[in-house]
Structure 1
C-alpha cells in the first residue's frame, strides 16, 4: 500500500509497504478514501507544530470504506462508509475517568504524535469508529472531524438556544462553529473576519450576518446586528489577540466566551472584564464520540453545509502540491481534500 511520510518540514516522501493482514478481534480495517488538510497539518508542514516529531504520517480528517472487521466487532460491516476519531487516550487519568477523554493527560493524536491516515489502509478499534450513512458522500465524510469541533465547542455553553452569538474567525472551523450555533437554536449568529472571501463562504453556508472588522469597527457592527440586545455568547476561533479582546470587552455581563482558536503567541486576558463582568471563560479541546455522531447527523439532515467549504481536490500522489496550493492561495482557500 501507499504511504505519504513527512520526513521533515516541507518534505513528503512516498513509500510502498505491505497492507495490514491481521487485525485484533475488536479492530476494523479501513480503506481510506479522502483526507482533509487542516490548519494544524499546515503547521506541521512548516515545522511550527511544537508537539509533532518527524517523520510523521499525517492525516486525521478522513472518510473510508470498511474493508475487514474483527470477530468481536458488531456495529460495522465490510462495505460500510465510516470515519473515526484520531484520539489515543490512556483511560486511567483523571479526565479519562470522568469521561473527559478529549482532554486526556496523555493524549496523542493520530497524524501528529502517532501515525495518521495518509496511507491506503488503516486500523482502528471499533469504539472509535463512526458509521457514515450511505447518503453522505466521501467528501462530506472527510468533513465530519472539523464539524465535530463545531459540535463540541458549541456544547461548552450551558445553553446556547435563544441567545445571540458571535463567532470570531470565518475559516473552516469558525464557519462550522457558527453553523452549529444556528443548528442548536441560537437567536442570531454573527461571524467576523478580515477576509471577505471567507465571509462570502459563510453566507453560502447560510450564515447571513457577517462582519469584516477591518472595514467596520466591531462595536459598530455588533450594534447594527443585535441592536440593544447585544450578544451573550462569543466563540473565539481565529486565534488572534484582538478578536479575544473584543469578545471579552463586549459580551454581555455574565456571558460566555469559549476559546477554541490556536494561538501562535500566548494572548493576554483582560482579567478585569472577566472578573468584574462575571464572565464564563472556557476552553474547548477537539471533541468526544457523541460530537462525531451529532456532526454526522447534522450533515446528513442538511443542517450543516460543507460543499461551499471545499476549495480543491488533489490526488494522493500530489500531496505536497496541496500544501503549495494552500500557500499560494492563502486567503482564498478553505478546505483542500486529498483523494486516495
Structure 2
C-alpha cells in the first residue's frame, strides 16, 4: 500500500509499505480501511516546520473516516462493515491525570500524526479502547470531521454556558464547532466573530445566525448589537490573536469565564489587574475525552452539528502536496480540506 510521509517541512513523499493484514491483528485490535482524512491547522504547522513537538519524518493524519475491515477475537465494540473513527491520543494510563480520568492531559501524551505515526495510508490498525463506532447514515467525510467536533464539544463543556450570552472569537473550523456545541448546550445567544467574510458566511450556513466581522465593526458595537445591555457572560477564544483576548478580558461581565481553545504562536499579553479585580477565570481546553467523541457522534447523527458547509476543497491521496499548496495560496478560500483515499490501495 502507499503511505504518505512528511520527510521534512514542505516535503511529502510517498512510499510503498506492506499493508497490515487481518491475520496479524492482536486480540484487541481493529483493521480499518481509511476513506477520508481531514487536514487541520496543526497539520499545516507540521508541514511548515512550525510545530514544536514533531520529529521528522512523520506520517500525518488524525482526523479520519474509516470502515472496519477486520477485528481481533476479543473485540466487541465494532464489527466488519461498521463505519468508525478513533481517538489519536496515546496515553500512559499511569500518571496522575490518567488516574484521575483526564487522559487528554496525560503527562506522556503522544498524538498520532505528530509524535506517533498517523493514518495517511489506506489501511490502519487501532486498539479497541480508542475506537468510535459511528452512526451508519453518516458519510465518511462527516466522520472525518468528528475529531474537530470532539474538540469543540470538550471546550464547550469546560464551563457552564446554559442560559448565558456567549462570544466565540475565531470562526475557523474549530471556532465554528465550538459555537455550534455551545448553542447545542443551551446558551441563550451566541455571537461568533472573525475578520473573514468566508468564515462568517460558513458560520451562518451552519446555523450560527449572529456573526460579526471585527475588521468592519468594532467588537464593542457587535456586542451591543447582539446582546444589548445584557452583555456576555462567557467567551471562547479560538483565534490565537492578541486583540481578541484583549477585547474579551476588557468587555466580559465581571465574574465570568473565558475558555482558551486557540494555540497562540506568540504568548499573548493579558491584563492581570483586570482579570484579578473582575474575578475573571481563564480556563484551558486540551483536545477531548472519549465521551466527547461519543457525544460528537450523537450530535452529528441527529443534526445538532452541521459540518457539511465546512468542507471547501477536496484532493486525492497522491495530491497531498497540492492540498497544502492550495491552503498556503488560498487561505481566505479554505476552511476544511479533505483528502480522499477511496480510490487508493
Q: What is the TM-score normalised by the length of structure 2?
A: 0.97
In structure 1, the residue matched to 2:6 is 6
User: Given the alignment, which residue of 90, 93, 96 partners 2:95?
Assistant: 93
Distance in structure 1 (CA, Å) of the matches to 2:107 and 2:246: 29
Gaps of 5+ in 2: none
Distance in structure 1 (CA, Å) of the matches to 2:319 and 2:196: 28
SS in 1 for 2:38: strand
Distance in structure 2 (CA, Å) of the matches to 1:76 and 1:112: 26
In structure 2, the residue matched to 1:228 is 229
Where do residues 1-340 of structure 1 align in structure 2 (5 Å cutoff)? 1-21=1-21, 22-157=24-159, 159-340=160-341
For residue 328 of structure 1, report the CA deviation from its aligned partner.
Answer: 1.4
Distance in structure 1 (CA, Å) of the matches to 2:262 and 2:17: 37
Distance in structure 2 (CA, Å) of the matches to 1:122 and 1:142: 14
Distance in structure 2 (CA, Å) of the matches to 1:277 and 1:122: 50
For residue 185 of structure 1, report the CA deviation from its aligned partner.
Answer: 0.7
SS in 1 for 2:333: coil
Distance in structure 2 (CA, Å) of the matches to 1:175 and 1:150: 8
Distance in structure 1 (CA, Å) of the matches to 2:33 and 2:128: 15
For residue 75 of structure 1, report the CA deviation from its aligned partner.
Answer: 1.2
Distance in structure 1 (CA, Å) of the matches to 2:191 and 2:83: 34
For residue 331 of structure 1, report the CA deviation from its aligned partner.
Answer: 1.3
Distance in structure 1 (CA, Å) of the matches to 2:97 and 2:234: 26
Q: Deviations over 1:170-194 (max 9, x none)?
A: 0000000001111111000000001
Gaps of 5+ in 1: none
Distance in structure 2 (CA, Å) of the matches to 1:51 and 1:256: 29
Distance in structure 2 (CA, Å) of the matches to 1:105 and 1:234: 28
For residue 332 of structure 1, report the CA deviation from its aligned partner.
Answer: 1.3
For residue 268 of structure 1, report the CA deviation from its aligned partner.
Answer: 1.5
For residue 133 of structure 1, report the CA deviation from its aligned partner.
Answer: 1.1
Report the RMSD for the aligned CA atoms in angstroms.
Answer: 0.7
Distance in structure 1 (CA, Å) of the matches to 2:208 and 2:48: 32
Distance in structure 1 (CA, Å) of the matches to 2:269 and 2:202: 30
Distance in structure 1 (CA, Å) of the matches to 2:252 and 2:268: 18
Distance in structure 1 (CA, Å) of the matches to 2:270 and 2:125: 42
SS in 2 for 1:74: coil
SS in 2 for 1:331: helix
Distance in structure 2 (CA, Å) of the matches to 1:270 and 1:117: 42
For residue 11 of structure 1, report the CA deviation from its aligned partner.
Answer: 0.5
For residue 297 of structure 1, report the CA deviation from its aligned partner.
Answer: 0.5
**Aligned residues, how many?**
339
SS in 2 for 1:141: helix
